Structure 1
Amino acid sequence: MFRILSLPLAALLAAGAAGAQEARTITVYTSQPQDQMAAVVEAFNRDHPDITVEIFRSGTTELMAKLSAEFAAGATPADVMLIADAVAMTQLKDEGRLLAYQDAPVEGIPEALIDPDMTFFGTKLITTGIVYNTGLVETAPRSWAELTAPELASSLIMPSPLYSGAAVIHVGTMVQQPEFGWDWYEALAENGAVAGQGNGTVIEAVARGEKAYGIIIEYMALNAKAKGSPVDFVFPDEGVSVITQPVAILKDSDAVEAAKVFVDWQLSRAAQDQSVEQGYFPVLEGVAAPEGYPDPATLTLLPADAARMLAEDIRNKEVFADLYGG
């Protein structure tokens, strides 16, 4: 009897061991820049060397398209989403794709950055403002309204919501402001403003002097400035749009426990300190903003209705594409 059962038992144990080993590998779909994610994985593995992290990096819109195709085919290799787009994350939640993680370590993180159903959690504060080339611009613009002037708009580049999750949030926020709306985007287009793809195309164009002005997330501009690029950044007087780069676990992940460890780490002091080193505003209480950044409490944050933004997402992209191509 023992000999008869021993072979299937050994096979079962071997399969279980293989499964356990497989469950220690997670795949993260992210819109965070590749070099930063490499540093994130390195720091995470110093604390958790037993978990292998595989990264697929692209713009949020492309990530969502990839996920949609994978869901339609029956499965996705993704275990964790880390994207600069709470609207896209809300869409995944509404479709029942995210795991509720009730025990996530959220103490010290503002309640506004935490999904009430505990399916996703903000990891950073990222604002969008104005970058300009210091060799081409003598007097920096102080407001969004100034950008529609022909001499500014004709040398302005912005990221496209057809590619960038941060741009989805910014466009969705700006069109909800009574003083801006689509009239503002139409005026920019009529006076020569153009759209690139993601924020990377914006900082490259402004740093090289191909464009004098850009609309961009703050850390990319301030990081470039710190590295010697001839650029500077303005937090516009009217206020800034805000994204939180939420992290979430996909409900069908085959490595849920390892994914939870990654989420825990993203919300930890170690990850928040690294975020500051990479030029992000932190979300954890007691962690100071990067050197040269204003206190987040001094910023004016433009109000935005996330539910409305999600409902209007497709239309916003269509109208933007009509104005700027895509």
Structure 2
Amino acid sequence: MKKGLFLLITAIMVLGLAGCGKKKKTEVMIYTSMYEDIIDAMRTTLNNEFPDIDIEFFYGGTGTLQAKVAAEIDSGKLGCDMLMVAEPAYSLELKDAGVLEPYKSKHAESLAFDYDKDGYWYPVRISNMVLAYNPDKYSKDEIPNSFYDFAYDSSVKDMVSMSNPLTSGTAMASITGLLEKYGEEYFQALGNQNVAIESGSVALTKLETGECKVIMVLEESVLKKREEEGSKLEVIYPTDGTINVPSTIMTVNDKWNANQNIEAAKKITDWFLSEEGQDAIVKGWMHSVRSDYPNPPYDAIATSEILKNIIPVDWEKCYKDREEIRTLFQEHVTIPESK
């Protein structure tokens, strides 16, 4: 009896020690507006790079993330440790809200784009708002090749499409830049064109069928379709300037973050800004933020060529005047109600 009890206690102790030997992974939750399929493509690389960190992503469009974060701020705690969002304007807002942790990344000096000098946010990927068309349906010289003509060329009325600036950060950045360049009349012209406000995937399908002649869309959406599906759809880099959108990465401070793992978040930030991390970004059809990164994404022109002709965006205005700009857009352009 005593011997059996001794063996039972010994077994329990051995099992307990074995359980203690298993190191619990550090958890990091990242809220991001990056496309889900690109996130999925990165998971294996991230798991191999950070075997001791359990990195989870919550995906949502910019509008969804902004609403989620606002609700969590009201509750007193965020559900994430990091954010990777569409454009710098939201980073400026979160910095002002006091939820970010400054960090001086060792890769900062290698960046080709602006970043917060105190380290509150860094650009991590470059998206470009462009035009696109289907050469199997229409010739390039009979459709708009500029953002201006996209709104004012009556020959494409009822056959143009763009994303929703109420839910998309890159679309919001784009209309901010276009408002600054062309004035409120540009929004009126878009309304007169009966521009469809819909997702990029829907717009691309309409290009393929010929229902749309030209669309305003992210470059990466077209490049992805060309590489993965052999699509014939083509990018038009607008003659009046591409809208260049640096998407940002940020760390949430200990007062607000979900898992109290700032050191892990710093390592993840450094990896994304490194050459290896930028490899993953460029494989996701977006441009690198590093000045020393040699290659553009599949089938894209060089980043340096794009930067020679861009429509600038005032990120402070995009943040401070966001609701005013959205309202102005809604006054002139019909936006479908979300279902």
Contact 1:125-1:244 within 8 A present in 2 as well:
yes
Structure 2 counterpart of 1:55, from 46, 54, 57: 57
Match of 2:174 in 1: 170
Cα RMSD (Å): 2.0
Pairs aligned (count): 305
Give identity over the alignment, percent: 22
Structure number, greater radius of gyration: 2
Q: Name the aligned partner's letter for residue 334 of structure 2.
A: Y
Match of 2:273 in 1: 267
- After superposition, residues 198-209 of structure 1 pair within 5 angstroms as 198-209=199-210
Match of 2:31 in 1: 29
Higher mean C-alpha displacement, 117-126 vs 130-139:
130-139
SS at match of 2:327: helix
Match of 1:292 in 2: 299
Cα drift, residue 83 of structure 1: 1.0
Alpha-carbon spacing, 1:201–1:89, altered in 2? closer, same or farther (3 Å) = farther
SS at match of 1:205: helix
- After superposition, residues 151-170 of structure 1 pair within 5 angstroms as 151-170=155-174
Q: Name the aligned partner's letter for residue 178 of structure 2.
A: M
Alpha-carbon spacing, 1:101–1:208, altered in 2? closer, same or farther (3 Å) = farther
SS at match of 2:249: strand
Match of 2:249 in 1: 247
Q: Name the aligned partner's letter for residue 302 of structure 1.
A: I
- After superposition, residues 172-321 of structure 1 pair within 5 angstroms as 172-177=176-181, 180-196=182-198, 198-226=199-227, 227-251=229-253, 252-253=256-257, 254-287=260-293, 288-299=295-306, 300-321=309-330
Cα drift, residue 206 of structure 1: 2.6
Cα drift, residue 282 of structure 1: 0.9
* Rounded Cα–Cα distance in structure 2 between residues aligned with 1:173 and 1:276: 25
Match of 2:96 in 1: 94
* Rounded Cα–Cα distance in structure 2 between residues aligned with 1:207 and 1:85: 29
Alpha-carbon spacing, 1:267–1:103, altered in 2? closer, same or farther (3 Å) = closer
Cα drift, residue 210 of structure 1: 3.5
* Rounded Cα–Cα distance in structure 2 between residues aligned with 1:285 and 1:263: 17
SS at match of 1:124: strand
Q: Name the aligned partner's letter for residue 164 of structure 1.
A: S
Unaligned runs of 5+ in 1: 1-13
> What TM-score, normalized by structure 1, do the two folds share?
0.87
Unaligned runs of 5+ in 2: 1-16
- After superposition, residues 130-141 of structure 1 pair within 5 angstroms as 130-139=131-140, 140-141=143-144
Higher mean C-alpha displacement, 198-207 vs 220-229:
198-207
* Rounded Cα–Cα distance in structure 2 between residues aligned with 1:58 and 1:166: 13
